[in-house]
Amino acid sequence: MSLKALPLTQSDVRLFSGRSNPDLAAAIASNLSIRLEETYFSRFSNDNLYVQLGATVRGRAVFIVQSLIPPVSDHLMELLMMLDIAKGAAAREVHAIIPYFSYARSDKKDAPRISITARLVADLLRTAGATHVMTMTLHSPQVHGFFGMPTDPLTARGLIADHFRTRQYNQEDTVVVAPDVGSAKSAARFADMLGLRVASANKTRVSDMMVQIGGLIGRQVAGFKRAVIHDDEIATGGTIEELCRLLIDNGLQEIYVTCTHGLFLRKALDRLVAIEAIKEIVTTDTVPQPKEDRPDKLIVLSTATVFSGAIRQNYYRQSIGELFDFGSDDQEE
């Protein structure tokens, strides 16, 4: 029997979900053929949070799924409390499954008297009881080094590449575009998976909503008809809007936008959908997307198979190399 077919032992495993992404947690449980256990949440009159895990965890392997999406502080506190409960109730091991780790954006001290919050949150997770962390596509790869316990940053690049392999397009007139230098390596690996060429823009952030994009983007995309913008996350959408404007001005007729984490804050999705040249916006469910009134251009890919595969590999103490977001091509999925 292959490892992918090996079941998890229900009596030895507990899977719980916070309130940020219960649909993804349920999909992970379904892929693993185990129950998603109940968790009870309420608030006291003084606004203090109350959390209770609904199944015994003593001596078990515990997996807790929680994305750090708005309201981030509430969801982080829920996660810390659930980890602490599992540790205090004598769980054998406690795995924090964090599909979207938002504080990865706070990875350096670039102004006086500020916190490197990604490192702080990593320390809090360890103190709360996490013995292992699993996440996906950290905004800054160096954040991996902030964690004082084994940490697996997974990738959705294979899922997104598989989606585009089902599309009919001419490789000769299609180019993958990285919005900035920071995403250039990931975009290059994505382009290589699809047999496409790659271009990279040079972004300067003016404010939370405004960016300036320069560099040689016009020369790099000359002669192409179609662009696939590849980014790790889209928050307010300002970078993608500006990049789309430049691509259209340089003769691109079709644009496909991809990201692992689609936050789409401040009506970003509405603004991107309104750009006629954008044919698809492809994201994943690390950040839940409302199913009601979902625009036709928005494609949401499930990461449940990636997380459930990594959970199974960890449970059986096997390598997860094919699921891991390494920095070199020969180790990619």
Each residue's pLDDT tens digit, 302-333: 999 999 999 999 999 998 887 765 444 443 33
Domains and CATH numbers, the chain: 3-155+304-331 (3.40.50.2020), 157-301 (3.40.50.2020)
More confident residue, 324 or 230: 230
Lowest mean per-residue pLDDT among 95-99, 262-266, 290-294: 290-294
Q: Angle, to 10 degrees, between the axis of helix 117-128 and the axis of helix 72-88?
A: 30
Yes or no: say if 226 and 253 are a contact pair by the CB < 8 Å rule.
yes
CB under 8 Å to 188, separation ≥6 — which residues?
176, 178, 198
Each residue's pLDDT tens digit, 18-38: 999 999 999 999 999 999 999
pLDDT attached to residue 330 = 41
Q: What whole-number distance in Å separates Cα of residue 102 and Cα of residue 263?
A: 10
Each residue's pLDDT tens digit, 249-259: 999 999 999 99
Yes or no: say if 329 and 189 are a contact pair by the CB < 8 Å rule.
yes
Catalytic residues: 203
pLDDT attached to residue 201 = 82
Q: How confident is the model at residue 200 (pLDDT cuts 50, 70, 90)?
A: confident
Yes or no: say if 161 and 189 are a contact pair by the CB < 8 Å rule.
no
